[in-house]
Amino acid sequence: MSEGKVYGYARVSSKDQDLTIQRKALKKAGATHVWEDVGSGTTTEGRLHLLFLRTVVRSGDTIIVTRIDRLARSIADLSNIVRELQQKGVALKATEQPIDTGSAAGKAFLDMLGVFAEFETNLRRERQLEGIAAAKADGRYKGRTATIDADRIKQLVAEGKGATEIAKLLKIGRASVYRYLKESDGVAGSLVASGSQ
């Protein structure tokens, strides 16, 4: 029976970050091919190479990451990925952490790291919300600058334009058009009633 393949997976959050260090570490650890994504680790949405990698691995294969947060920052996503890999008979290892789902100790460490990663994300979100609340109380936070030209929307509605056309003309989402009209004077109802798209 032939030995399983060893794949690497690398991820950075934004295009201005470099994947070189991860790539080198994964190749040094034995990865024959490294799949790479650019995107947030808080969700697996849009990470096509991770999705493809999870599709091609077979029993006996191994996926290596440098750190577990390269794979997922959400405990739910991490649990789903690990469960899926285990069901397929695929091992998960990290080069910078004592993680190896092939051993009980490695699996326990992985579970603990996932809990701490989610805890850290939640703390960061809470601190951000507390900071915004404090800034609002002090009058320092005004929120985002409005990007919707209310008068222009009303003018376009009066001209008989539909929500889709208005959204394209103003380079905003169609939902934003409906939301604004609903909040302002109920013109959205007339848009829907008239069947404007």
Q: How far is the CA of 174 from the CAs of 77, 98, 145, 149, 196, in angstroms?
A: 31, 48, 19, 14, 12
Letter for the amino acid at 47? R
pLDDT digits (tens, 9 = 90+) for 15-42: 888 899 999 999 999 999 999 998 877 7
For residues 160-189, give the mean pLDDT. 74
Could you tell me whether strands 33-38 and 6-12 are parallel, antiparallel, or unpaired per DSSP bridges? parallel
* CATH class of residue range 150-193: mainly alpha
pLDDT tens per residue, range 115-174: 776 777 788 888 888 888 888 887 777 666 556 777 888 888 888 888 888 888 888 887
Domains of the chain, residue spans: 6-117, 150-193
Query: How confident is the prediction for the chain on average, in pLDDT?
Result: 81
pLDDT tens per residue, range 88-111: 999 999 999 888 887 777 777 767
Task: Flag whether pLDDT at 49 surpasses 90.
Answer: yes
| pLDDT value of position 145 | 58
Note the CATH number of domain 6-117: 3.40.50.1390
Could you give the CA distance from residue 27 to residue 93 in angstroms, rounded to a whole number?
13
Q: Which residues are within 8 A (CB) of 159 and not within 5 positions of it... i.e. 6 or more apart? A: none
Q: Which sequence positions are flagged as catalytic?
A: 13
Which strand ranges, in their side-by-side order, compose the sheet holding 33-38? 33-38, 6-12, 62-65, 91-94
Percent with pLDDT over 70 in the chain: 85
In angstroms and rounded to an integer, the radius of gyration of the C-alpha atoms of the chain is 24
